[in-house]
Structure 1
Amino acid sequence: MNLTDEEKVELLRIARNSITNAVNGKELPEVEPLTENLRTPCGAFVTITINDTLRGCIGYVEAVKSLAETVNEVAAKSALEDPRFPPVEPYELDKIEIEISVLSPLKLVKSVDEIKVGEHGIMIRKGWRRGLLLPQVAVEHNLTKEEFLEHTCLKAGLHPDCWKDKDVEIYVFTAIVFKESDFKQKIEEGL
């Protein structure tokens, strides 16, 4: 999928409206996907930061709803339901930065040699446990491939070397990643 700048701005607007409503105790806004891309079922994550510090991140790995509906739902969940953080408060709304990651379908890899750090995100599954890290995490934290795998195992609640176990499934995916600061002027102009 290739998203236009206008589609990215629309998704950021949807996420901002969703978060604002959720934090203020209102219902999620209705979304009307305006383009074919926004109507396409797709996995996505919404990441919330304040001063480059993570404040919430939740998403759907697999395509369960249209991209627009997915962003609408996971944005609210990122603000209120990430178990690692208290819910975002109304006074924080002006401080948050929203980043959206639109995911490609998952691809099972046969070897970790197929993983390209900086290009791929990873999902590790063992039994009912699973952990996922977005592609930008490896870059932002300057992780090696092995460290990226270890952190994904830990995210799943498993030992860091579990990626070497024979019964572990490793999936890769790519993501289109964009944030509000990328489109500050267009957002301010209401485009």
Structure 2
Amino acid sequence: METPLSHQTRLAKEAVESYVRRHEVIAPPVNPAQTEMSERAGVFVSLKIKGRLRGCIGTFAPTTENTASEIIRNAIAAATQDPRFTPVIPGELGEITYSVDILSPPEKVNSISELDPERYGVIVTQGHKRGLLLPALEGVNTVDEQLRITKAKAGIHPEDNNVEILRFEVRRYK
């Protein structure tokens, strides 16, 4: 028996399906089912097919009026604008699984001892270069791996330690 989708993942699924099938952007719920959906936060939406990433787009800080709108915007972008993948086509919709990460406000890290790749995501910044990696990702087991991957995403040399590091927590919904 399938696990029922959370409000967050159901909204992401509805947004992707409406956009891919009809090029329509759904409206956010008028009365969000949970207070969290009416708050403002950064949101990442990940799409997978058979356990493999199919798209992931997000914002580390809020860009819309509420989390529900942020989920809709980022779900559509994950399905259609992730530069690593071609846009999702209607025939794939039945195979996609969704996860939604709602981010806490980032906080500055003074020492890498304050990091834990299972608990915290990281944002690494150097000038205009910025990379973000979510927490609790399969295959990312150490702080060194987490920072190396995040620096690579930002276009920063892995040995360059002249960076600002921020950490954040997520509430992950599947």
1:175 aligns with 2:154: no
TM-score by length of 2: 0.91
- Written as runs of structure 1 = structure 2, the 5 A alignment for 1:110-149 is 110-137=110-137, 140-149=138-147
* 2:116/2:142 contact within 8 Å kept: no
TM-score by length of 1: 0.84
* Cα deviations by residue, 1:25-50 (Å, 9 ceiling, x for unpaired): 42210112244221101111000011
Instruction: Give the counterpart letter for 2:8 in structure 1.
Output: L
SS in 2 for 1:61: coil
| Residue 171 of structure 1, CA deviation | 0.4
Q: Of the candidates 6, 9, 12, which is equivalent to residue 9 of structure 1?
A: 6
Identify which range, 24-33 or 47-56, moves more after superposition.
24-33
| Residue 117 of structure 1, CA deviation | 2.1
Q: May I ask how many residue pairs the two structures share in their alignment? A: 168
CA RMSD of aligned residues (A): 1.4
What is the distance in 1 between the residues matched to 2:34 and 2:54? 30
SS in 1 for 2:155: coil
* 1:123/1:131 contact within 8 Å kept: yes
* 2:48/2:97 contact within 8 Å kept: yes
* 2:117/2:140 contact within 8 Å kept: no
SS in 2 for 1:136: coil
- What is residue 43 of structure 1 aligned with on the other side? 42
* Cα deviations by residue, 1:120-146 (Å, 9 ceiling, x for unpaired): 000001111100000022xx1143111
- What is residue 64 of structure 1 aligned with on the other side? 63
* 1:43/1:102 contact within 8 Å kept: yes
What is the distance in 1 between the residues matched to 2:39 and 2:87? 30
SS in 1 for 2:136: helix
Q: Give identity over the alignment, percent.
A: 34
Q: Report which of the two has the higher share of helix.
A: 1
* 1:153/1:161 contact within 8 Å kept: no
1:104 aligns with 2:104: yes
Q: Which runs of 4+ in 1 moved over 4 A?
A: none
SS in 2 for 1:161: coil
